[in-house]
Amino acid sequence: MREVRTVKVVLTVIAWVVALVQIALAGRLVPRFVQSIRSERVTAVVSGKVLDSATIVVPVLNERARIGPCLQTLSRQGSEVREILVVDGGSSDDTEEIVARYASLDCRIRFVNAPPRPGDWNGKAWGLQSGLELASPDAEWIATIDADVQLEPDAVRRLLAFARERDLDVLGVACGQRAGSPLLSLLHPSMLTTLVYRFGSPGRIATSVADVQANGQLSLYRSNLMSRCGGFAVARDSVCEDFTIARHLHACGARVGFYEADGVAETEMHASAIDCLRNWPRSLSLKDRFQPQAGVIGLLNLIFLQALPLIITIARPDMVERNPLTRTVNRLLLFTRVGVLFGTRRAYTVAAWTYWLSPLADPVTAVAYGANLLKRTHTWRGQTLVRPGKEDSDVEAVA
């Protein structure tokens, strides 16, 4: 009998601890959701002359399946696009031949073989830096675009106009996502929600390094800022290079904004649910030299605010049912999760019906995220990614 009472006491304590941790984490969540109410979107309709121009850099590695549609939409951009540099990191497929066909139709397109990658650089950052060094000095902006992104015909004009209107130095764009298969529509929104819980919705200018949001699929940077702040070198050993670059530029004094854009760009980020599960958690932790604790904070949010409320509400363990605080907190958190589900639906241009069941994938996301957080070696398309080295003196000063 005494052992039974001891077990009950221990379980009661655990229930209280879970509730208190959830309340503490949710307290950080509320201000982000309040900010999201005032979020903006890129909605500018451009007429007349655009005052700025851009060089587009597209880093590629074995992109035969995706580079064609990407270049087709880039060719439809107006004269504000000075050049389109497709920087290859060592493709073994026919990426170069595909680019050559489009280059014959649009003189702005140029295929570039990146120099041999140094041992302390990851491939994408090296491709971006190689493109930056070849960019026209007359272009006011550097636009970086992944090969899986497709733009609307006036996309670059609208983004340049919006950046000028908001006096931005860095503009990150949340592309519309295509997740057509049922399994991908189940998993992808669960992972996307981890970002919403940590940053709120896109639509504002960052006020601190921790507040910075970014998207390597489509970003614009002022050319003079990149020259002054060392280009993309800061991300040479980062597994989340988009956030590292944007954080570094914010630390240099740049105005960094991240926005959703209606009808500007869409992407099929992952070809399948397996591809999503294998690759996105690697960078989803957003852990780098600027925010070394970001991975742990993200995991705590995922466990206590996304995964546990669903498990506890469905399983209804006795220790929770006897504790009104834990029971109430978890039901409120589950209600919040459903609300976020309705809010993030607009991020998808294509989604299967399983999107509405994606909270069920939160425990899977938590396991995948935690496993990748513990991994010491990451690979991408056969390349071993460089692990972050010692912090540079300028980064230490920022931190």
Domains of the chain: 41-182+199-271 (3.90.550.10)
How far, in Å, CA of 92 to CA of 99, rounded?
Answer: 14
How far, in Å, CA of 118 to CA of 125, rounded?
Answer: 11
Nearest to 210 by CA among 219, 218, 200: 200
pLDDT (tens, 9 = 90+) of the chain, 399 residues, equals 666 567 666 777 888 888 999 999 999 888 888 888 888 888 756 666 677 899 999 999 999 999 999 999 999 999 999 999 999 999 999 999 999 999 999 999 999 999 988 988 999 999 999 999 999 999 999 999 999 999 999 899 999 999 999 999 999 999 999 998 999 999 999 999 999 999 999 999 999 999 999 999 999 999 999 999 999 999 999 989 999 999 999 999 999 999 998 889 999 999 899 999 999 998 899 988 898 999 999 999 999 999 999 988 887 776 666 788 888 899 999 999 999 999 999 999 999 999 999 999 999 999 999 999 888 777 777 677 776 654 443 433 333
Collapse the DSSP code of 71 into the 3-class scheme (helix H, G, I; strand E, B; otherwise coil) and give the result: helix
Sorted by sequence, the CB contacts under 8 Å of residue 154 that are 6+ apart come out as: 46, 77, 78
Partner residues linked to 259 by β-bridges: 173
Tokens 């397109």 locate to: 109
Please, are residues 286 and 369 in contact by the beta-carbon 8 Å criterion? no
Tell me the whole-structure pTM to 2 decimals.
0.91
**How far is the CA of 236 from the CAs of 113, 125, 214, 250, 387, in angstroms?**
18, 5, 17, 17, 10
